[in-house]
Amino acid sequence: MLRLESAILRRFYADWDVRRRGREFPARRDFDPCDLAYALGYVSLMDVLRDPLRFRFRLHATGIAERTGAELTGKFVHEMKDLRHRDMAAAHFREVVETRRPVANIRRAYVTDRRIWNCEVLVAPLSSNGSDIDMLISCIAWDEARPPGLERAGAGSEAVP
C-alpha cells in the first residue's frame, strides 16, 4: 500500500484513482484543472516518449519553477541544469513507467542554489488509450515544518500495488 505523508498527495492520489473508472490508467482528458484547485501550482504534466525512453515537461508547476528558479515547460528532463535533480527526476519517472504504478518519493536534496528540498512527490501514469503510458502527472507537497537539512532514514520511493 502506498504511504503518503501529505494530505494533499493522499487527495491527489484519490483523484487519480477515481478517474480510472475501471481502467488501468486515467487519461489527461479525465482531469479538469478546476478539480485540482487545491494543488494548482504544484501539478506538472510530462509527455512520455519512446525509443529511447525520455520525458518532456508539457507543463512544469509554477510553484516548483518559483522555488528552483528553473522553468521547464517544453523542455526534456535531460535538459535540466541541476544534474542531481535531473537524475532524481528521470529515475522517478522511469520507475513509474516500468512499474506501471504511481510512485511517491520523499526528497531531501540540494538544488542549484544550495537550498534543501523538503518535500514529497507523487508521480502517476496517464494513458490516452487506457493501457499505454503516454503521459505522467505529478504533484509536490512541500514540508515547511521539517528543519532544513534533516534527512529521514529510509527515505525513498514507494509504488502503489
CATH architecture, domain defined by 7-145: 2-Layer Sandwich (3.30)
Report the C-alpha gap between 161 and 152 in whole angstroms: 23
User: Among residues of the chain, what percentage have pLDDT more than 90?
Assistant: 63
Contact 157, 92 (CB under 8 A): yes
CA atoms within 13 A on the CB side of 94: 11
Classify residue 76 by its DSSP letter. B
Q: What is the mean pLDDT of the chain?
A: 86
Cell match 541541476: residue?
82
Amino acid 146: pLDDT: 44
Contact 34, 132 (CB under 8 A): no
pLDDT (tens digit, 9 = 90+) per residue, 94-135? 999 999 999 999 877 655 555 667 889 999 999 999 899 999
Q: Where exactly are the structural domains of the chain?
A: 7-145
Residue 145 scores a pLDDT above 60: no
